[in-house]
Amino acid sequence: MRGLLHLGLAAGVGLALWQGIVWATDLPPFILPGPDRVARTMIDSAAVLAGQAGFTALNLAVGMAAGVALGIVTALQLALSPGARLLVRPLLVFAQAVPVFALAPIITLWLGYGAPSKIVMVALVIYFPVTSALFDGLMRLPPGLEDLAQALQARPLRKLVLLQLPNALPALGSGLRLAAVYAPFAVVVGEWVGSSRGLGYLMLMANGRGQTDLMFAALIVLAGMSVTLFFAIDRLARRWGREA
């Protein structure tokens, strides 16, 4: 509740600054529309915004689910297998060194302008943070738990499931927080590169038509989606941290 209160206060301050800049600069609405103009546009274009936001949210959810699942599986495999750590970790570092957003045109060329290219973009962007954070957590077992595993002669899989994974949940939460930050940006970049639907597509179309108020409206909807996603994951991660 306190977090929502702080968020509301920050939003109020931001709106006040926005309106103050509009009054101080006296810029025309097609350059910088005021909050009231954007609010009217959001009401008038609610159906359009909702439809485009639904497409973006679906791609975001599926891409995050795929990226998180793949990252968790990879981290568990790396923790279990020294051979996998030797072979796969350098590949992960190399893959992270390549800007994923630079691959967006290629991914769009291969998978088309529909949902698959956006889903793959989101999955690729969040895959490495989730894998890296969870793997680090799995490999940082406290000495007491390590001694317990040795005393019980626990096999690697049993040790992983009963000791390492519960201990690594806070680290996984940190990776998911990063994913919540990166994922909305990834899906919009995918829509900018090539799409016929979504908030990113709507922003491009509004820009081409000089509808700056609609661009701001789409941006605000996207920001609301991102903040909601982050707070939901943050709450889940905090619960894991209390239970760990």
Summarised one tens digit per residue, pLDDT across range 178-208 is 899 889 989 999 998 888 899 999 999 998 8
Q: Please state the three-class secondary structure of 189-210 as a single string.
A: HHHHHCCCCCHHHHHHHHHHCC
Q: How many CB atoms lie within 10 A of CB 34?
A: 18
Please report the pLDDT score of residue 160 as a whole number: 84
Confidence bin at 53 (pLDDT 50/70/90): very high
Our CA dihedral for 38, 43, 49, 51, rounded to 10 degrees, sits at 180
Contact 174, 133 (CB under 8 A): yes
For the chain, domains (ranges, CATH) are 33-243 (1.10.3720.10)
Q: Taking 70 as the threshold, does the pLDDT of residue 242 lie above it?
A: no
Cβ neighbours, 10 Å, residue 22: 18
Tokens of 152: 């019980």
pLDDT confidence of residue 70: 94
